[in-house]
Structure 1
Amino acid sequence: MLTPTQLSVIQQTIPVLQDHGEDLTRYFYQRMFRHNPEVRGFFNPAHQQSGQQQRALAGAICAYAQHINDPSALTGAVELIAQKHVSLGIQPEHYPIVGENLLASIREVLGLAETDPILDAWAAAYGALADLFIQRETAIYRQQREHAGWNGFRNFVVSHREAASDNIVSLYLKPGDGKPLPAHKAGQYVTLRVALPGGETIMRNYSLSNEPGAACYRISVKREGGEGTPAGICSHHLHERLQAGDKVELSPPCGDFTLAASSTRPLVLIAGGVGITPLLSMLHEALAASPGRPVWLIQGALNGRVHPFADEVNALQRRHPGLRVHVRYSEPLPEDRLKAVHDGEGLIDEALLDELVGGEKAEYYFCGPTPMLRHLCQLLASRGVPSEDVHYEFFGPAESLAA
């Protein structure tokens, strides 16, 4: 419990955090990796290089300071981060490492004495936040043991692989021990841990793209960057080297981007590029659970060559005539226009939602690039869609969608 004085000090630091938050978090990561290199493997180097991780942490620290009197306002953010921590295997003993480096970074970046009240206040604030995360993560680990039957990483084998588009490959993963898999919740992800040829072991999160209850877990991976670049080191390995029969490790399914239980209200799924992966699993679940439920899938892609899962979605539409699908290309190729394989061009806009959904009181789930998420949040807000009916998933560290 923070004292009134400590709460006041935290609130007084908000302007400094707003002005210098990214400088602080950039220094923090550099310091932590230098002093505690054992934690480096928990972080995606591409997100470090792009600055996405630093921006996300800076935003989270500011949000915590702004809501220090009522942390319950951050329940959604805490849940998202706790799920990600569990997927990577974060344990209570990792929190002192982060706390020590964060407080040292505050002192060194701001030039504070070790006895400065700011450090005392932030030490108390970090301790309270760490306790909150540890309690929630302990509960998630317990739930995993009860439902999935394991914690940490379990051996899996690549059953087979297939192309979902020119730039996305699907990998079907079955348990190495041959035991049945628990059904995941549509929209969840797993953490894949794989050894690279040079001996380095890396971890990445991938959404499960197939229907819950299948005999295998399916992940569908977009090729990112090129060989040897931080952005593409894992995706290149999965595309070029991982073959049927190869072994990997998976953590149990995690994530809270899941369909509302037992809802029969109209459902609108909006996907951009590889953002289709969690939504495709949701589509399978929704159609199986409520065959009469009105469902729209709006899928965006650059063009037909990188339009993933076209055949699978077409097959679902043939089996479920009530499923309405709209495909939109932002940069169609000449052959796309000749084949007429898409329904429109450009961005998803007000006119399209008016045409497809009209005034229906629907639930919206969407996933894709951050600019698309920001655009859709603003568009749905302007249409008066309640925030509780708007659900979206980030790939990578969550950042603010404020304009």
Structure 2
Amino acid sequence: MLSEQSAATVRATLPAVAAAIGEISARFYDRLFTAHPELLRDLFNRGNQAAGTQRQALAGSIAAFATHLVEHPDDRPDAMLRRIAHKHASLGIAPEQYDVVHEHLFAAFAEVLGEAVTEEVADAWDEVYWLMANALIAIERRLYEEGGAGGGWREWEVVGRVQETDDVAVFELRTADGSPVPAHRAGQYVSVQVALPDGARQIRQYSVVGAAGSGTLRIGVKRVHGGGTPDGEVSNHLHARVRVGDRLRVSAPYGDLVLDQDTDAPLLLASAGIGVTPMIAMLEQLVISGHDAPVTVVHADRSPADHALRADHEGFAAKLPDASVHVWYEQPEPGHPADHKGLADLSSLDIPSGTRAYLCGPLPFMRAVRAQLIGRGVAPADIHYEVFGPDLWLAQG
């Protein structure tokens, strides 16, 4: 993939670039939003920008991609690229925007590293950028062909709303023009764009709750409390202002954390908090498809009152012929005891050979569960995950 000359240059400069990539990404976003303020207003998550998490995610993905190129020159990190491409497609990212990013990213690169950026170094890292960008553009083009140009955005009407917990609401949607609901795969999400009081049109992703096949689409929305960082603008807007009869602008379904329907392997579905939403869709799909191999359901939450969609979670699992459910609550309540108290600990669970695992929840939870699964013999390639928000797994790797 990477030319031999560029590979040698990238390998030699990677430590210096990796050490400065955080500063480079910060400078990049400052330049980008100065030149194109509409991107921060209508495309990028302003809360993540304020908290710095989007900058961490960009830095992590660039460093991880470059490292992979020099360590594995004959292949590319397809799993990482697919995950990024699905998120980009859900936002409606266009190929020409990669030129804009290139302009400001490489200007930041030169500003931070100064004289170290010789023509040879610039050419080598330019090759890295376009290898990654062109791979993403190609994947996103295929996704648009499947889901609709520009992300498949259309108007939807809210036809139902259920307050699952104090901070989780499920919105039921149908297309405003009566057109068919686009098919989705269990585990995928859609983007929702809302107009905020200051004129911004911010976008967030929410998992589709339930399997495909109905005439409506349900999404689970957790109200984000900042706790030292800004509150979630879109989630709080949806909770406070959106009711039955209102309309929302919603994208086609995206996301690559999807069940492999062509396997009879044992499955493990592990979630924490609002990460339960894609697992509900997976469980319902398994029921519909008649899955009869072992299914291990793991969930961790603060308390029973915080366990959104608990009835669906337990109900679908109960309909499977060989499923076990294991729940951890940090704060169990009288009348709603947990199977376990505290944080998820898989050491006592039976993990069948050949298990395929799907994880969704806060990053520390997924890291801990992944480590436990690998320790129990589950192949790393068989452990799949979804992150809500910027993917900091790579940034913290």
- TM norm. shorter chain > 0.5: yes
* 2:362 matched residue in structure 1: 369
**2:364 counterpart of 1:349:** no
- For residue 258 of structure 1, give the secondary structure of its aligned residue in structure 2: coil
1:231 deviates by: 3.3
- What is the rounded CA distance, in whole Å, between the counterparts of 1:394 and 1:17 in structure 2? 26
1:224 deviates by: 0.6
1:341 deviates by: 3.6
1:361 deviates by: 3.4
Aligned residues of 2:192 and 2:250 also touching (Cα < 8 A): yes
Q: Per the alignment, do residues 113 and 299 of structure 1 end up closer, same or farther by CA in structure 2, a change over 3 Å counting?
A: closer
* 1:379 matched residue in structure 2: 372
* 1:43 matched residue in structure 2: 44
* 1:198-224 residue CA offsets vs partner (Å, 9 max, x unmatched): 432111011111222121111111111
**2:14 counterpart of 1:21:** no
1:4 deviates by: 3.5
> Larger deviation: 386-395 or 43-52?
43-52
Q: Per the alignment, do residues 234 and 150 of structure 1 end up closer, same or farther by CA in structure 2, a change over 3 Å counting?
A: closer
Aligned residues of 1:2 and 1:124 also touching (Cα < 8 A): yes
- For residue 298 of structure 1, give the secondary structure of its aligned residue in structure 2: strand
- What is the rounded CA distance, in whole Å, between the counterparts of 2:51 and 2:228 in structure 1? 16
1:135 deviates by: 1.6
* 1:171-216 residue CA offsets vs partner (Å, 9 max, x unmatched): 0111001122132100111111111234321110111112221211
**2:130 counterpart of 1:127:** yes
- What is the rounded CA distance, in whole Å, between the counterparts of 2:115 and 2:311 in structure 1? 60
**2:393 counterpart of 1:392:** no
1:317 deviates by: 4.6
1:330 deviates by: 1.5
1:129 deviates by: 2.4
1:119 deviates by: 1.9
Aligned residues of 2:51 and 2:229 also touching (Cα < 8 A): no
2:8 partner letter: S
- What is the rounded CA distance, in whole Å, between the counterparts of 1:315 and 1:3 in structure 2? 54
TM-score by length of 1: 0.91
Q: Per the alignment, do residues 199 and 8 of structure 1 end up closer, same or farther by CA in structure 2, a change over 3 Å counting?
A: same
* 1:68 matched residue in structure 2: 69
- What is the rounded CA distance, in whole Å, between the counterparts of 1:390 and 1:204 in structure 2? 25
1:164 deviates by: 1.7
Aligned residues of 1:156 and 1:175 also touching (Cα < 8 A): yes
- What is the rounded CA distance, in whole Å, between the counterparts of 1:198 and 1:2 in structure 2? 45
Q: 1:110 aligns with which of 109, 113, 124?
A: 113
Mapping of 1:50-199 within 5 angstroms? 50-69=51-70, 70=73, 72-112=75-115, 116-145=119-148, 151-199=151-199
- What is the rounded CA distance, in whole Å, between the counterparts of 1:2 and 1:272 in structure 2? 39
- For residue 197 of structure 2, give the secondary structure of its aligned residue in structure 1: coil
Q: Per the alignment, do residues 108 and 367 of structure 1 end up closer, same or farther by CA in structure 2, a change over 3 Å counting?
A: same
* 1:84-124 residue CA offsets vs partner (Å, 9 max, x unmatched): 11110000110111000011001001123886432232223
RCO greater where, 1 or 2, for CA within 8 Å and sep 6 or more?
2
1:71 deviates by: 6.8
TM-score by length of 2: 0.92
Give me the identity figure in percent. Answer: 36
Q: Per the alignment, do residues 309 and 218 of structure 1 end up closer, same or farther by CA in structure 2, a change over 3 Å counting?
A: same
- For residue 164 of structure 2, give the secondary structure of its aligned residue in structure 1: strand
- What is the rounded CA distance, in whole Å, between the counterparts of 2:238 and 2:206 in structure 1? 12
1:151 deviates by: 4.2
Aligned residues of 2:266 and 2:293 also touching (Cα < 8 A): yes
- What is the rounded CA distance, in whole Å, between the counterparts of 1:96 and 1:366 in structure 2? 34
1:2 deviates by: 5.7
- What is the rounded CA distance, in whole Å, between the counterparts of 2:257 and 2:60 in structure 1? 21
- For residue 281 of structure 2, give the secondary structure of its aligned residue in structure 1: helix
* 1:290 matched residue in structure 2: 290
1:47 partner letter: N
- What is the rounded CA distance, in whole Å, between the counterparts of 2:256 and 2:138 in structure 1? 17
Gaps of 5+ in 1: none
Gaps of 5+ in 2: none
Aligned residues of 1:52 and 1:397 also touching (Cα < 8 A): yes
2:29 partner letter: Y
- What is the rounded CA distance, in whole Å, between the counterparts of 2:227 and 2:69 in structure 1? 44
- For residue 107 of structure 2, give the secondary structure of its aligned residue in structure 1: helix
> Larger deviation: 83-92 or 285-294?
285-294
- For residue 269 of structure 2, give the secondary structure of its aligned residue in structure 1: strand
- What is the rounded CA distance, in whole Å, between the counterparts of 1:66 and 1:113 in structure 2? 19
- For residue 230 of structure 1, give the secondary structure of its aligned residue in structure 2: coil
- What is the rounded CA distance, in whole Å, between the counterparts of 2:250 and 2:184 in structure 1? 13
- For residue 72 of structure 1, give the secondary structure of its aligned residue in structure 2: coil
